[in-house]
Amino acid sequence: QVSRLGMPLVNEVVIGLKDKNKFNNSEPKDDAQFADYVTNPTLPALLEILFGGAGVKAPTNFPRTDLVAAFLTGVQGLNQPANVVASEMLRLNTAIAPVPAASQNRLGVLGGDNAGFPNGRRPGDDVVDIELRVAMGVLCTLNIGGCKPSDAPAGSLHYTDGAFIYAGYFAPAFPYLQPPLPGSPNPDNAIPRAAR
């Protein structure tokens, strides 16, 4: 089976385990059946349980209309098409000019770079950090998606996975990505010990 991977982390983190196969077998036009996973996500509550001692508080606005904008409809005025149907897919507003690699912000739209994620996805967009911040309510702090700053008490924290990505890590021409790392020496991948 092929996994649906339009918007990063929706399949991996947002959709519940019991419905992953159903989600992967469905089409975007039928995504309304999975809306509860987006409007009532578990990730923010889990982050509060794990990191509440460090001041992490999950957003309180339910249903999470900010996440509907981020994951299902696009953000109004940025990448939401007219007559949008809520569906999990990557959207790109081609009317927004691309930004040269050296000037791109790894946080895309959250970093003031409207040519970046969630308006499409460039190799240097740090989608994990962006989506962690979105899940924890950063759009509420910006009054985007039908919520307000008070709905996200920790929405302005700079959540990160610590694996920073910068556009400079990528080649200037297709295929853009560098060759993969060879991995650890072991008999299964035929990498000799001396190659380290």
Beta-ladder partners of 91: 119
Alpha carbon dihedral 134, 135, 140, 145, in 10-degree steps, equals: 80
Tallying the residues shown for the chain, one arrives at 196
pTM of the model: 0.87
The answer to whether 72 touches 88, Cβ cutoff 8 Å, is yes
Task: pLDDT tens for the chain, 196 residues: list them.
Answer: 789 999 999 999 999 999 999 999 999 999 999 999 999 999 999 999 999 999 999 999 999 999 999 999 999 999 999 999 999 999 999 999 999 988 999 999 999 999 999 999 999 899 999 999 999 999 999 999 999 999 999 999 999 999 887 666 888 889 888 877 766 666 666 655 654 4
In order, the DSSP letters of 118-161 are TBS--TT--HHHHHHHHHTTHHHHTT-SS--GGG-TTTTS----
Question: Which CA distances in Å does 141 have to 65, 107, 157, 173?
Answer: 13, 16, 10, 37
| Cβ contact 158:144 at 8 Å | no
Q: Which amino acid is at 179?
A: P
In the block, which residue shows the tokens 């309510």?
A: 137
